[in-house]
Amino acid sequence: MDKLIIEGGVKLKGEVTVSGAKNAVLPILAATLLTDEPCVIKNVPNLRDSNSMFKILRSLGKIVEFDKGKVTVCAGKTSNYIAEYKLVSTMRASFCVLGPLLGKLKKAKVSLPGGCVIGVRPVDLHLKGIKALGAQINIDSGYVEAKAKCLHGAYIYLGGVYGSSVLATDNVMMAAVLAKGKTIIESAACEPEVADLAEFLIKMGAKIKGHGTPIIEIEGVKSLRGAMHVIIPDRIEAGTMVLAALITEGDILIKNVQYHHLGALIDKLKEAGAHLSYADGSLHVKGNKRLKAVNITTLPYPGFPTDMQAQMMALMCVTGGISVITEKIYPDRFMHVAELNRMGAHIQREGPHAIVEGIKGLSGAPVMASDLRASACLVLAGLAARGKTSISRIYHLERGYEFIEQKLINLGAKVWREKE
């Protein structure tokens, strides 16, 4: 197992291109289960999670080929409706094969999911939506078994304790596209990744309206065809690179960015005094020493993304003043706090709040990644810190950031791997 070593203190400079969105590509790959015709997906990032989904699709009878960001998915000679624990347990997003399997085959057996350890993330909203479409659900030995002679349209309210659910919206939408009649999903997730999935389903012949809003309308069709689709840029990678420029007081041109996907983050960074400019799909970020602390509250899209909370905390650690970061999506998503404090940060946790007192600088230290976004947070902290930072368990980082090590090196960072 490798660890990542970072020699901090280098101002990052240059250009970097954002890869395809991890949180869009995984459900879109799952959606290929809805048709027997070939599908071609482009701008697919080479990630651990992408490769995990390839394995799941192959186990379900698909032929999957991946080459230089292009995935071709075709039907094999046999099909399977069981997604096994050894595959699904590696990432939570793999649970979204439940909807398309049920929609196409009218039966599915999917292991309860795994992924990052960032607190309880139940699948109750998924099952609520699937049941509303007419499926019978049974949970036994760690598996969700669903079956239905015929799925039918329904009115489904998908609001949860912490707001809407992206994966539940994905799952229900994919099951509903082949159901009889109209389905209305209220309190649907509005994230760009959900809208991207809907656009792919529409290309396959689905009838969907309202995606990207809290109310999605789906008119079921008898069958879906194959389609070609280009994945949207990863807004979380783009945001992480923006913060890399700011935390190192660097100067970076970030290419392949959809500006409107980053509204909440950019608004907070402008409030902090950051200099950003956008033109022709590229975002120019120039760091400065005069940033001020800002308060952050994570919310469902278009609010401030929970997937940027940890990285923003790293920036606030070295920004003058006191900031309060409130996590309203996953209240336990603060496992990076202890690691940042090991690097000299002044952070106090109080329930769903983290109180961050900005200091002049962090110092390099051995730290351990607990989840995907905490890994990115520690990388940012390491880039800004004095001396060497050693980050263990970087396989978390590889789940969601394509070629991140090389991208940072191209920007001038002193980063390398060593064996644990």
The structure tokens 């960072």 sit at 413
d(Cα 371, Cα 300) in Å, to the nearest integer?
20
d(Cα 177, Cα 205) in Å, to the nearest integer?
9
**Mapped to the 3 state alphabet, what secondary structure does the chain carry?**
CEEEEEECCCCCEEEEECCECHHHHHHHHHHHHHCCCCEEEECCCCCHHHHHHHHHHHHCCEEEEEECCEEEEEECCCCCCEECHHHHCCCHHHHHHHHHHHHHHCEEEEECCCCCCCCCCCCHHHHHHHHHCCCEEEEECCEEEEECCCCECCEEECCECCECCHHHHHHHHHHHCCCECEEEEECCCCCHHHHHHHHHHHHCCCEEECCCCCEEEEECCCCCCCCEEECCECHHHHHHHHHHHHHCCCEEEEECCCHHHHHHHHHHHHHHCCEEEEECCEEEEECCCCCECCCEEECCCCCECHHHHHHHHHHHHCCECEEEEECCCCCCCCCHHHHHHHCCCEEEEECCEEEEECCCCCECCEEECCCHHHHHHHHHHHHHCECEEEEECCHHHHCCCCCHHHHHHHCCCEEEEEEC
* 116 catalytically annotated: yes
| Nearest-5° Cα angle at 397, 119 to 166 | 50
Residue 240 phi/psi, 5-degree rounding, is: -65, -40
d(Cα 110, Cα 156) in Å, to the nearest integer?
22
Q: Which of 116, 190, 317, 377 is catalytic?
A: 116
The structure tokens 């394995």 sit at 55
One-letter amino acid of 97: V
Q: List the catalytic residues.
A: 116
